[in-house]
Amino acid sequence: MGRIDLVVTDLDGTLWHTADEVHPGVAAAWAEVAEQVPLLVATGRRVGSTRAPLALLGVAPPAVVLNGALVLDLATGQRYHRSAFPASQAAAALAAFRGSGIEPCVYVDRAPGGAEVLVGRRPSTNPGHLAALGQAVEVADLDAAVREDAVLAFSIIGIAHGVLAEAAAALEPVAEVHLDRALEYPGTASLTVAPRGQSKWDGVVAFCAAHDLDPACVLAVADGPNDVELLTHAAVAVVPEVAHSAARALADRTIPSARQGGWTSLPALLRELVSEPPCKAPG
């Protein structure tokens, strides 16, 4: 068999269109892939919003969350990797958001049961996003948070692209910036911000090291600008046909959109790879 040690999948726009719009064939396809090779999720989502919709599919896999900041087993809570902002970089990112006239969500790593997301009194994220955070969010002093907490990421979801584009330009000198469409809020954009130089691929490498897997033998399925490093390094890069142009440019294989159940073609693709060379050198 052409050797694939690990399948890594993005969620939004890849495994599903949105968490509320999952193709009915995905659960069976997941089970079939999992029988052939280990599966790892790699997403920009936080822990709670990764775990809950996957539980509805009956799975709790290991996951790279917040664009590589944290790697854990969703079933057991075991951690394999954590990469927080240096305090000075977190403070600079917060200042860049505020310089653009917007107030971000701040994602932190606290004790189990503590808040995952901190916001100020007037957060700029979409009200629907804020409501969806539920009990995971806490109103806090963000200046104190960037000094004292382990800050894993920043985001604003579901507001005008132009506003976020201005903030993204201000943030690029100090952090890793991902500007994309917000699938849950059509006609708007999302901005997620990670520590400088960090990507989902860092989490994949950490997971492979913990499980004696070869990172040169990864099949990755992903669709966004925050997946560029993941798709670049993967032995096989699989991309939905409606993906962001930066992802499509890296595709070894293209599948239908998540709305059309593109992920359900993964079991057949893995079987097809049996006769192909096992791995390519990391990009």
Q: What is the DSSP string of 104-158?
A: -EEEE--STTS-SEEE-SS--S-HHHHHHHGGGEEE--HHHHHHHS-EEEEEEEE
- The answer to whether residues 112 and 73 touch, using CB atoms and an 8 Å cutoff, is no
- The answer to whether residues 220 and 234 touch, using CB atoms and an 8 Å cutoff, is yes
**Amino acid (1-letter code) at residue 154:** F
Give long-range contacts, CB 8 A cutoff, 24+ apart: 270-273.
270/4, 270/7, 270/33, 270/36, 270/37, 270/219, 273/1, 273/2, 273/4, 273/219, 273/236
Residue 73 scores a pLDDT above 80: yes
Task: Round to whole Å and give the CA distance between 136 and 155.
Answer: 14
Residue 276 scores a pLDDT above 80: no
Per-residue pLDDT, 93: 98
- Give me the domains of the chain, ranges plus CATH numbers: 6-82+198-275 (3.40.50.1000), 87-194 (3.30.1240)
User: Which tokens belong to 166?
Assistant: 């201005």
Task: Round to whole Å and give the CA distance between 97 and 74.
Answer: 31
Mean pLDDT confidence for 172-182: 94
Mean pLDDT in the chain? Answer: 94
User: Which tokens belong to 39?
Assistant: 């599966």
Confidence of residue 275 (pLDDT cuts 50, 70, 90): low
> Tokens 């699989």 belong to which residue?
238
Tens digit of pLDDT for each residue in 85-107?
999 999 999 999 999 999 999 99
Confidence of residue 283 (pLDDT cuts 50, 70, 90): very low
Tens digit of pLDDT for each residue in 9-64?
999 999 999 999 999 999 999 999 999 999 999 999 999 999 999 999 999 999 99
Phi and psi of 240, rounded to 5°? -60, 150
Tens digit of pLDDT for each residue in 219-247?
999 999 999 999 999 999 999 999 999 99
Angle at 181 between CA 33 and CA 205, to 5 degrees: 45
Percent of the chain with pLDDT over 70: 96
| DSSP track, 173-220 | TTSEEEEEE-TTSTT-EEEEEESTT--HHHHHHHHHHHHT--GGGEEE
Q: Which residues of 19-32 are buried (b: 16+ CB within 10 A; e: fewer)?
A: beebbeebeebbee
Per-residue pLDDT, 282: 47
Task: Round to whole Å and give the CA distance between 195 and 202.
Answer: 12
Per-residue pLDDT, 112: 75
Paired sense of beta strands 189-194 and 151-159, if any: antiparallel
- Of the candidates 52, 74, 55, the one whose C-alpha atom is nearest the C-alpha of residue 63 is 74
Per-residue pLDDT, 279: 60
Tens digit of pLDDT for each residue in 120-137?
999 999 999 999 999 999
Residue 217 scores a pLDDT above 80: yes
Count other C-beta atoms under 10 Å from residue 173's C-beta: 10
Residue 1 scores a pLDDT above 60: no
Instruction: Enumerate helices (H) and strands (E) in the chain, giving the number of each.
Output: 10, 14
Task: Round to whole Å and give the CA distance between 90 and 261.
Answer: 38
Mean pLDDT confidence for 173-180: 94
